[in-house]
Structure formats: structure tokens, C-alpha cells
Amino acid sequence: MALHIHPSILAADFANLERELQRIGEADLVHVDVMDNHFVPNLTLGLPVVERLAEVSPLPLDLHLMIDDPDRWAPDYAAAGAASVTFHAEAARDAVATARAIRARGVRAGLALKPASSADQWLPLLDEFDLLLVMTVEPGFGGQEFMAETMPKLAQLADAAAREGRDLRLQVDGGISPRTIGIAAENGANSFVAGSSIFGSADPGATIRELRDAAQRALEAAPQR
């Protein structure tokens, strides 16, 4: 699986999103954090903004839904023009049915786990998802410190995917920088979300290259799964 870098527009200038998208052309997808002020104590943007972003973005959209009742809303986000829709296991009533509804719209389905959530119950169900997101901070805000204690869960998912020969996207989100990305790559991540480290950089393109190189170096130095 190739490594993918996803700048999070949570750290972008919300008054100039179209212009901000032009600064990250070297990335693979753009990560869009949808927060409802219920599942997390923060509010960002919703369907109408996602629909417009899908129209103007040169990069495919990777949606991260931090909302209550994803069973109700995720299919609408999938229909809004995203490449992938990830919702939280802690918020879903029927995660498998929700993933199937996303896939039925031709969109990749992702399942996100908060730092304290176990992956155990999902290991037999990996086939139902295209992406597993291991949150490396408490969801809700950008600019937080990377939580290395989430790495055993990431490695557990990576080992399970390797045993099954699954080409699963394993994403990390929160506190990813040139300093921390290697640890995540060693533990099996292949999809990296970074907000403040990319949009806070004077040269986002150079930071994207730096992140990609650091992840690649760590992956090459790590033992094969």
C-alpha cells in the first residue's frame, strides 16, 4: 500500500478554503473534519460546505465525521462527492450497515476509533471497511500532542490486515509531524493526516515532502509484517 498524506483543513484559513486547497497540491487527499458540537465539543462545517469543497478541490476529499448518528448522516456525506467517509465506532448504532451504505454509493468506508477504544471487536470485521482510523489525539481539536500509547492498537490492526492479505488503509490523525510520523509508519500506518504541521508551515509543499520521506524511511527501516 502506498503512503498517503492528507492535510487537514481544520488548520486552514476557513475564510479562504479554496485558496488554501491550492497550497497542498503535493498531497494525496484532503482531510475534512466534520464536527457537530455533540459527539465532540467543537463545531466546524456540514453538508453544504462539503458539497462545494468537492466541486472546487483539486484533491479527492477524505471526510472524518465526528458526529452523533452517523448511521443517519454518513450516506448523505458519501453522496456529497467524497472519496472516503470515516465515522466513529463510538457513535454508530450499526457500523457494518453504515459502512455498507457508504460503499453502496461507490465511496470508501472508514471506521474511526478514539484513543481509549479497543480494536478487538472489529478484528473479525475488517472486510467491511476500506479504512481504519486510529485517533492519535482525543478528537475535537487540532494542535494537540501525539499520543504514542495508541501505537499498540495500530500495530494490532496492521498485523490483522497483513494476516488476511488485506490492502487496508490504516490512518492516523492528530499530532502528526515530521517528528512523530515515523513512529506511526513503523507501527503500520499508511495514511497520515496532518493539520497544523502542514498549514502552519511557510512552505506546505516542502512539509508534505518531508512527511512523506520520513514515513518512507521509517517504513523501510522497520521489520516486514
Ligand X SMILES: O=C(CO)[C@H](O)[C@H](O)COP(=O)(O)O
Other CB atoms within 10 Å distance of the CB of residue 135: 24
Helices marked H in 116-203: 151-164, 181-186, 196-199
Contact status: 28 vs ligand X (CB under 6 A): no
User: β-strands 131-135, 169-173: how paired?
Assistant: parallel
Residue with cell 453504515: 98
Active site residue 36: no
Say which residues have a Cβ less than 8 Å from residue 58's Cβ, sequence separation at least 6.
Answer: 21, 22, 25
Comparison of 13 and 164: residue with beta carbon closer to Fe ion? 13
* Marked catalytic residue, from 68, 130, 173, 203: 173
Rounded (10°) angle between helices 95-103 and 70-79: 10
In angstroms, give the least distance from the CB of 163 to ligand X: 28
Considering CB distances under 5 to 8 angstroms, the limit depending on partner class, which of Fe ion, ligand X, none binds residue 176? ligand X
Order of strands, edge to edge, in the sheet holding 84-88? 4-7, 191-194, 169-173, 131-135, 108-113, 84-88, 61-66, 30-35
In angstroms, give the least distance from the CB of 165 to ligand X: 29
Polymer length in residues for the chain: 225
Count of residues engaged in binding Fe ion, rule: CB under 5 A: 3
Among 70, 75, 110, 142, binds ligand X (CB under 6 A): 142
Contact status: 31 vs ligand X (CB under 6 A): yes
The torsion angles phi and psi of 160, rounded to 5 degrees, stand at -65, -40
6 is in an annotated binding site: no
Binding mask 52-91 for ligand X (x = CB under 6 A): ------------x---------------------------
Contact status: 41 vs ligand X (CB under 6 A): no
Identify residues 154-193 at the interface with Fe ion (CB under 5 A).
173
In angstroms, give the least distance from the CB of 175 to ligand X: 5
Among 11, 17, 28, 33, binds Fe ion (CB under 5 A): 33
Q: Is residue 107 within 8 Å of 85, Cβ to Cβ?
A: yes
Say which residues have a Cβ less than 8 Å from residue 156's Cβ, sequence separation at least 6.
Answer: 119, 123
* Marked catalytic residue, from 33, 36, 62, 130: 33
Contact status: 204 vs ligand X (CB under 6 A): no
31 is in an annotated binding site: yes
Active site residue 33: yes
The binding site for ligand X (CB under 6 A) comprises: 8, 10-11, 31, 33, 64, 137, 139-144, 173-176, 193-197
Positions annotated as catalytic residues are 33, 173
Binding-site residues for substrate, please? Answer: 8, 64, 140-143, 173-175, 195-196
